[in-house]
Amino acid sequence: MLPVTICVTLVLIMLGGVVAAVTMAGHFSRGIKENFTVEVLLDDSISQRDLQALKANLEKAPFARRVNYISKTQATNELMADLGENPEELLGSSPVPAELEVFLHAPYACRDSINKHIVPVKEKNKHVRDVVCPIELIDSVDAFTRTASIVALAVAALLAFISFALIASTVRAGVHNRRHAIRTMRLTGATHRFIRRPFMARAWWTGLVAAIIAGGLLWYGLDTLSGMNEGSDFAFVTSDVVLYTLLTVGIAGPTLTLFWTFISVSRCLRMSDDEIFLK
């Protein structure tokens, strides 16, 4: 039982690591997209009432995650800090307008959504001078994310298949080694259900113990990674990552061992005496 438990534990760690990596990649992609901003440049003649109304409308829009107001003075100071000179002294007045900085929800951070939902803001409001967004950068990130997602899912599917195959092979080998005991029970008149019962009970406990050990090791690893990532702009390890990883391991351990044990025992029950002694 111990070798089977160790093997299943290692396979579950690999499977849980794949789930964690795919989930963290999704969070990273969403984090990048939600840090893109669209700048709604405002006319200098806009009144405070119109400004508040426009800001409220943008905050209610489904694409807006957060809306920040940057005054003309604040924008000028930021430009002066970047240039090292006061633009008002060179030009006589500040060329920088006030603006509303709109942070997007991840699903709307793509060219089609921006053109459909955000760009028309300029046409609908006479106080909006222009709408500026990093559309080329968004396109590049969107294309990279789409390609990376396909590759990640393909790798995850391959590793999941390998995991299932390893568990199946390990369980089959363990049951096959006891084929003579199964034959003896058959000869004494035991029913198939009675013969399966001890094997299924052992498989349940093997899968459960392996899931607990693998889950504990994965939780420790994710907790360590979370501590290393503390203070970063992107939170790779979130509660969702931990939950999905532990759930996958907790369900896969007992389920896979039970399933393959049932298949293996059933196969042994169908074996003839020649097959039992020759293999």
**Residue 167 pLDDT level (bands cut at 50, 70, 90):** confident
Domain ranges for the chain, please list them: 2-31+140-278, 37-133
For residue 246, pLDDT beyond 60: yes
**Residue 235 pLDDT level (bands cut at 50, 70, 90):** low
pLDDT at site 212: 93
pLDDT tens digits for range 89-107: 555 555 678 888 888 888 8
pLDDT tens digits for range 171-205: 777 776 777 777 777 777 777 777 788 888 888 89
**Residue 16 pLDDT level (bands cut at 50, 70, 90):** confident
Mean pLDDT of 47-73: 85
CATH class of 37-133: alpha beta
Mean pLDDT of 37-41: 85
* Look-up of token digits 């389920």: 255
More confident residue, 116 or 231: 116
For residue 88, pLDDT beyond 60: no
Q: Measured in Å, how far apart are the chain's first and last C-alpha atoms?
A: 21
For residue 247, pLDDT beyond 90: yes
Q: Two tokens at 183?
A: 């034959």
The whole-model pTM stands at 0.68
Residue 84, burial from CB neighbour count under 10 angstroms (0-12, 13-18, 19+): exposed
More confident residue, 55 or 3: 55
pLDDT at site 216: 92
Mean pLDDT of 195-216: 88
**Residue 113 pLDDT level (bands cut at 50, 70, 90):** confident
Closest CA to 237 of 9, 11, 17: 17
pLDDT at site 149: 76
Share of the chain above pLDDT 70, in %: 86
pLDDT at site 124: 79
Cα 100 to Cα 118: distance, rounded to the nearest angstrom: 12
Question: Which residues are CB-contacts of 231 (< 8 A; sequence separation ≥ 6)?
Answer: none
